[in-house]
A and B are shown apart, each in its own frame.
Chain A
Amino acid sequence: MKKILMTTAALALVSAPALAAGEITVVRAIDANNYDPHKSTAQANAEIMFMLGDTLVSLAPDMKTIESGIAKEWEVSDDGLTYTFRLHDNVQFCDGKKLTADDVVYSIERWIDPETNSPVAWRAGEVESVTAIDPFTVEYKLKSPFSELLYQLAQSFGTIIDKDTVEALGPDFGVAGFNGTGPFCWVEWTPRDKMIMDKHEAYTWGAPFHKNTGPASLDRITWQIVPEENTRTVAVMTGQSEVSPYIPVIALKQLESAPGVEVVRSDLAPYTYYIGFKIDKETVSDPVVRRAINLAVDQEAMAEDLFFGEVEPAYSYVTQDALDWNHDLDDTLLKYDPEAAKKMLDEAGWVPGDDGVRAKGGVRLSPLIYTFAESTYGKQVEAVQSYLREIGIDLQIESFDATVVWGKLATQEFDMYTMGYPYVSSGDALNLYFRSENIPTPNRMNWNDEKTDELLDAGAAATDDAERAKNYGEVLKMVHDAAAWLPLYHDPMVIVQSTDLETITPHNLYGAGLYKGLDLKFKE
């Protein structure tokens, strides 16, 4: 009897997870530079912000429906210029302080303050004023209508923060500490290692689309940085980590059949990888060259061979399901046809030289591409390089580490660049990339066109859906006709989770698959 007891005890010791019940470890690839909602554009920042803080409104997992956040309800004036938010009256920060309209005003004002120098200030729209009408009512006035506003306010950049903490911590805000109203509270951050957060006991104001509106069922979440992708795979397979949205596609097939692991995915949230052309560089300034490059690349084979069919080949710059996609373009998208590409280049006078590389008027078709020194981008660019070799274009690859690549991508040194980006709608994508004021970055194409700017303004200011779709649709047609990009594939949100947890419904706002983490729960 004693022996049996001892064996059971030993077994219990062995099988007990390293963490106490109610704790999980999420492994991910990279850390953010800081956890200040206004001072980072990193996806890693958004993942943490959604859990530590709240936004005025939130986005349901269908990626279309706006639901309540800190604001329980809101009204939009008929001219689309005034938004009135009525806040929940029971929201409080992690330190116990009650949230009032002043906190909302402070957060939005800091977001758009030129002194904050936020790279995402434009996402708040052209703000006229933000005022607290009473302790639980905020009036958000715009200079011109912004049809995207609610979607943008649901982004992590719209996280409501606490003025006292920001002022007390100064430059260390979001580095040494944070004070939010989210379902989890900041415990500790070790940069490039881990972020630990504990349950916010007082949290009860989760949006209705959550099964659990608060408080969270998990006691603690540890976000662990594991840069090596095979190590992440093994961590999930061996139970060292319960959840990871960062499992390489190569491992997914095996993990689907592995015991104790479940793979969940969502195609609803668009995340598109593309290669952009700097359209005023002589190697790619000719639209014929850009179109030929589009025709030379076989996205379907890439999706199948390099990404094991886990991604969807892309021919459009936003998914064809995205809000305001122009369906007139469906039949005009450039698809794999290398012979047509060669013919097109021949006719335009780009003829192969002795080394097989095409040239015209002394310009050799050997564009330089800047990319991330990272395996996903590496695979894409090498495949594209090989396709382009077939039609006589000699692509030069230069890759940079994550710490320097953003600076390099803001220069005028390159002809092409690679990028992957999350978006909520066509307008979101187009406003980000094709506005002339966004040159040199993120408008790295140097797309400088008055007509585009006007249409984008009209789209953003449109108060009815058809009007907005028409304006954005026209921009979509212009940029697709000009072949400003080479779209590669649309990446679904895939989360690998332990079967000990209830099945997760993946979210994907700004690539944050776990969103608020309220529904993360161990099975009973």
Chain B
Amino acid sequence: MTSIDAAAAVDEQAPPAIQPWWSRLMRDPIALFATAVLLAIIICAIAAPLISPHDPFATSRAVMKPPIWNAGGSWDHILGTDGQGRDMLSRLFYGTRLTLIIGVVSVGLGGTFGSFIGLLAAFYPKLEPWVMRLVDVMLSFPAILLGLALVAVLGSGVTPVVIALAIASIPDTARIARSIAVSVMKQEFIEAGRAVGLSDIALFTRYLLRNCISSIMIFMSLRFGQIILIGAALSFLGLGARPPTAELGMMASQGRDFLLFAPHIAVIPSVMIFIIVLATNVLGDALRDVLDPRLRS
């Protein structure tokens, strides 16, 4: 009985975990712009089946048609067609969708697992050497190499790429989560929580996790851009999505053959990758500026 009351009292002492940060974020015009761009892209990706003017997989005899702003372009194919006569705009929507899904799922999976083991390592110092050495070993493999190795074992396809990217996101997030958690663990409210006899689970979820989550989220959002880039690179190398699926990296790779004569086939998906990665990185930076307690003061 007393312990619960005491826990409630400790709870009030702990700093509020989530700050009203978005209003400050929106005061930054660059962040605002990046958010708007990213939102627009996400909406297009989600609505791909509704807004695509053509079937993205249907080939036609109108191959390598230029985009609307070039001579010979037509409103029927606003961004032109690719080497198989498929509509570039529709493929761009579908490709962005798949690229974003690959990024979100792999960062989500890898990030969640990575932060969990990072927090565990900080929470149970006895576990730390084991967990962190394992993470160090994983960190010594560049993500792209890991991806290549995994795809060689599992065969090409979206799933192996997602697994590779998820594994590649584990060590970074684990280290970040641990370093954040170690400083949180030194706070008085953790000691107070222990003193009043809170269970490990309660202490872990209510005190440690809540105080670390925002910083981890920022890191993951920064990581998202890189992961998308690596995912696209793997697809570019022909290890990711299988035809006829549209994926931005794969589209860029297929467009490579036409680079001298129909550059739009490679340039359009590449520009899209560029915009997505730039927008997420800008947004991640802005988020860090707003949320990082050290930068806040």
A385 at the interface (CB under 8 A from B): yes
Given contacts A385-B243, A386-B244, A398-B242, contact A301 B61 (CB under 8 A): yes
Residues B84 and A230 in contact, CB atoms below 8 Å apart: no
Q: Chain B residue with minimal CB distance to A371?
A: B243
Q: Which of B256-272 contact A (CB under 8 A)?
A: 256-261
Q: Which of B83-108 contact A (CB under 8 A)?
A: 83-85
List chain A residues, Cβ under 8 A from B61. Answer: 301, 304-305
List chain B residues, Cβ under 8 A from A233. Answer: 260
B49 at the interface (CB under 8 A from A): no
User: Which of A254, A379, A383, A398 sits near B261, CB closer than 8 Å?
Assistant: A254
B179 at the interface (CB under 8 A from A): no
List chain A residues, Cβ under 8 A from B59. Answer: 382-383, 386
A373 at the interface (CB under 8 A from B): yes
**A383 vs B63: C-alpha distance in the bound complex, in angstroms?**
12
A306 at the interface (CB under 8 A from B): yes
Q: How far is the CB of B124 from chain A (nearest CB, A)?
A: 44
Given contacts A379-B83, A383-B59, A386-B58, contact A250 B258 (CB under 8 A): yes
List chain B residues, Cβ under 8 A from A382. Answer: 59, 84, 243-244
Residues B85 and A305 in contact, CB atoms below 8 Å apart: yes
User: Which of B63, B243, B256, B260 sits near A305, CB closer than 8 Å?
Assistant: B63
Residues B243 and A378 in contact, CB atoms below 8 Å apart: yes
Residues B238 and A373 in contact, CB atoms below 8 Å apart: yes
User: Which of A230, A301, A385 sits near B256, CB closer than 8 Å?
Assistant: A230
Given contacts A301-B61, A378-B254, A398-B155, contact A251 B238 (CB under 8 A): no
List chain B residues, Cβ under 8 A from A301. Answer: 61
List chain B residues, Cβ under 8 A from A379. Answer: 83-84, 257
**A383 vs B61: C-alpha distance in the bound complex, in angstroms?**
11
1/0 per residue, CB under 8 A from B, across A133-158: the answer is 00000000000000000000000000
Residues B243 and A375 in contact, CB atoms below 8 Å apart: no
Residues B260 and A251 in contact, CB atoms below 8 Å apart: yes
**A197 vs B287: C-alpha distance in the bound complex, in angstroms?**
61
List chain A residues, Cβ under 8 A from B256. Answer: 228, 230, 375
B156 at the interface (CB under 8 A from A): yes
- Residues of A in contact, count (CB < 8 Å): 28
Chain A CB within 10 Å, residue with most, of B243, B258, B259: B243
**A120 vs B288: C-alpha distance in the bound complex, in angstroms?**
65
B57 at the interface (CB under 8 A from A): yes
1/0 per residue, CB under 8 A from A, across B156-183: the answer is 1000000000000000000000000000
A293 at the interface (CB under 8 A from B): no
Q: Chain B residue with minimal CB distance to A399?
A: B238
1/0 per residue, CB under 8 A from B, across A54-95: the answer is 000000000000000000000000000000000000000000
**A512 vs B138: C-alpha distance in the bound complex, in angstroms?**
47
Q: How far is the CB of A409 from chain B (nearest CB, A)?
A: 15
Given contacts A306-B63, A397-B242, A399-B238, contact A386 B57 (CB under 8 A): yes
**A344 vs B58: C-alpha distance in the bound complex, in angstroms?**
23
Q: How far is the CB of B141 from chain A (nearest CB, A)?
A: 20
**A383 vs B259: C-alpha distance in the bound complex, in angstroms?**
20
Residues B242 and A396 in contact, CB atoms below 8 Å apart: yes
Given contacts A301-B61, A398-B155, contact A229 B257 (CB under 8 A): yes
A248 at the interface (CB under 8 A from B): yes
User: Which of A250, A386, A396 sits near B257, CB closer than 8 Å?
Assistant: A250
**A250 vs B260: C-alpha distance in the bound complex, in angstroms?**
9
Q: Which bracket fits the contact residues of B? A: 20 to 34
Given contacts A305-B61, A373-B238, A386-B84, contact A230 B259 (CB under 8 A): yes
A265 at the interface (CB under 8 A from B): no
Given contacts A383-B59, A386-B244, A389-B57, contact A375 B84 (CB under 8 A): no
A381 at the interface (CB under 8 A from B): yes
List chain A residues, Cβ under 8 A from B85. Answer: 305
List chain A residues, Cβ under 8 A from B155. Answer: 398
List chain B residues, Cβ under 8 A from A254. Answer: 260-261
Q: Which of B26-72 contact A (CB under 8 A)?
A: 57-59, 61, 63
Q: Chain B residue with minimal CB distance to A400?
A: B156
Q: How far is the CB of B234 from chain A (nearest CB, A)?
A: 12
**A254 vs B63: C-alpha distance in the bound complex, in angstroms?**
17
Given contacts A305-B63, A306-B63, contact A375 B257 (CB under 8 A): yes
Q: Which of B234-290 contact A (CB under 8 A)?
A: 238, 242-244, 254, 256-261
Q: Which of A371-394 contact B (CB under 8 A)?
A: 373, 375, 378-379, 381-383, 385-386, 389
Residues B257 and A248 in contact, CB atoms below 8 Å apart: yes
**A248 vs B259: C-alpha distance in the bound complex, in angstroms?**
12
List chain B residues, Cβ under 8 A from A373. Answer: 238
**A306 vs B59: C-alpha distance in the bound complex, in angstroms?**
11
Residues A250 and B261 in contact, CB atoms below 8 Å apart: yes
**A301 vs B61: C-alpha distance in the bound complex, in angstroms?**
7
Residues A385 and B244 in contact, CB atoms below 8 Å apart: yes
1/0 per residue, CB under 8 A from B, across A277-292: the answer is 0000000000000000
Q: How far is the CB of A438 from chain B (nearest CB, A)?
A: 27
1/0 per residue, CB under 8 A from B, across A299-333: the answer is 00100111000000000000000000000000000
Residues B259 and A306 in contact, CB atoms below 8 Å apart: no
Q: Chain A residue with minimal CB distance to B257?
A: A375
**A246 vs B156: C-alpha distance in the bound complex, in angstroms?**
28
Q: Chain B residue with minimal CB distance to A228?
A: B256
**A383 vs B156: C-alpha distance in the bound complex, in angstroms?**
20
List chain A residues, Cβ under 8 A from B257. Answer: 229-230, 248, 250, 375, 379
List chain A residues, Cβ under 8 A from B63. Answer: 305-306
**A142 vs B209: C-alpha distance in the bound complex, in angstroms?**
82
**A386 vs B285: C-alpha distance in the bound complex, in angstroms?**
43
List chain B residues, Cβ under 8 A from A389. Answer: 57
List chain A residues, Cβ under 8 A from B260. Answer: 230, 233-234, 250-251, 254
List chain B residues, Cβ under 8 A from A381. Answer: 243
**A518 vs B72: C-alpha distance in the bound complex, in angstroms?**
46
Q: How far is the CB of B236 from chain A (nearest CB, A)?
A: 11
Q: Chain A residue with minimal CB distance to B256?
A: A230
**A378 vs B241: C-alpha distance in the bound complex, in angstroms?**
13
Residues B254 and A399 in contact, CB atoms below 8 Å apart: no
**A379 vs B255: C-alpha distance in the bound complex, in angstroms?**
11
Supply 8 A–B pairs (Cβ within 8 Å), ascending by A. Answer: A233-B260, A251-B261, A305-B61, A381-B243, A382-B59, A383-B59, A389-B57, A397-B243
Additional pairs, 19, CB under 8 Å, beyond known A250-B257, A401-B238: A230-B257, A230-B259, A250-B258, A251-B260, A254-B261, A305-B61, A305-B63, A375-B254, A379-B84, A381-B243, A382-B84, A382-B243, A383-B84, A385-B244, A386-B59, A386-B84, A396-B242, A397-B242, A399-B242
Which B residues fall within an 8 A CB radius of A? 57-59, 61, 63, 83-85, 155-156, 238, 242-244, 254, 256-261
Which A residues fall within an 8 A CB radius of B? 228-230, 233-234, 248, 250-251, 254, 301, 304-306, 373, 375, 378-379, 381-383, 385-386, 389, 396-399, 401
Nearest first, the 5 A-B pairs at minimum CB distance are A386-B59, A373-B238, A305-B63, A375-B257, A382-B243
